[in-house]
Amino acid sequence: MDTNEILQKVRKIEIKARGLSQNIFAGQYHSAFKGKGMAFSEVREYQFGDDVRDIDWNVTARFHHPYVKVFEEERELTVMLLIDVSGSLDFGTTQQMKRQLATEIAATIAFSAIENNDKIGVIFFSDRIEKYIPPKNGRKHILYIIREMLDFHPQSTRTDIGMATAYLTRVMKRHCTSFIISDFYDRKDFTKEMEIANRKHDVVAIQVYDPRAKQLPDVGLLKVMDAETGHEMYIDTSSRKLRQAHTRYWIEREDKLNTVFAKSRIDWTAIATNEDFTKALMLLFKRRA
């Protein structure tokens, strides 16, 4: 992709993502992702029922009357996007590639974050940490992130979600809200890393998938390739048994994912490349509000 093409795509994504974040997600994002810390706001006279632990003894001594400290929830958040850049994201049979969908979702979350004056950072991962962009706020920073998402060339095609989640736990010293955007094609179990990360942070999982992963069409002999290993083979999609086995595999895989996220107490949603992702995000935000 040349520079002009990248800039055009960045602009197109910015227009769509900013519109969604301003018009649709403004209130939903705010209520779904609340600051965890408490910041001192003011002092006022003690009232019946106030917690005695909140008494400000210095002010009380000065005015010879009990005063309490009033705290407000800190609104500014740090938001981290963990974006899967492995080979399996370069697949799509309908409207777009999984990678394109992941980019639009990430951009929309990023613009929602800055509308809320939150900082946003990114971890690009495959089976290694491909790139870490520290959290900052502002439109310029988000446009840089979108450019990277559109034109990023990973060193590896494989996936290691547990490694990426463990890295998040290590690199982010303070509490943050983290969105893991991936198709979650990982043969290793990452439950433990998810549990540890979600105890320290607020982790949300967004699965992107192609509808053909659910159901194979009957189109006869089809050549397929594993994008992460490069292995190629032919399959006969006219076989009903094969198509049924494919669907069973999808159901079993989704059940396993659901178990992982339930054990880790992580909110998650699955979005297909031929779906309107705004509806899925809205439902996710409403569940958390």
Tell me the per-residue pLDDT of 246-287, one tens digit each, with 9 for 90 and over: 889 889 999 999 999 999 999 999 999 999 898 899 888 888
- CA 247, CA 56: separation in Å to the nearest integer? 63
Which distant-in-sequence residues (6+ apart) come within 8 Å of 240 by Cβ? none
- Contact of 285 with 32, CB cutoff 8 Å: yes
Q: Within a 10 A sphere around the Cβ of 287, how many other Cβ atoms?
A: 10
Residue spans of the domains in the chain: they are 3-32+76-288, 38-73
Which tokens sit at 102?
């992941």
- pLDDT per residue of the chain (289 residues) written in tens, 0 to 9: 667 776 787 888 888 888 888 766 767 776 777 654 544 557 888 888 888 888 888 888 988 889 887 655 555 689 999 999 999 898 766 678 899 999 999 999 999 888 888 899 999 999 999 999 999 998 899 999 999 988 889 999 999 999 999 999 999 988 899 999 999 999 899 999 999 999 999 999 999 999 888 887 767 776 766 666 777 777 777 788 888 888 898 899 999 999 999 999 999 999 999 998 988 998 888 888 6
Sign of the dihedral through C-alpha 195, 198, 200, 206: positive
- CA 207, CA 102: separation in Å to the nearest integer? 9
Query: Domain 3-32+76-288 has what CATH class?
Result: alpha beta
Q: Is the pTM of this model over 0.75?
A: yes
Which tokens sit at 131?
């790139």
Please report which residue ranges of 64-190 form alpha helices under DSSP H. Answer: 98-115, 139-150, 161-171
* 96 exposure class (CB count in 10 Å sphere: 0-12, 13-18, 19+): middle
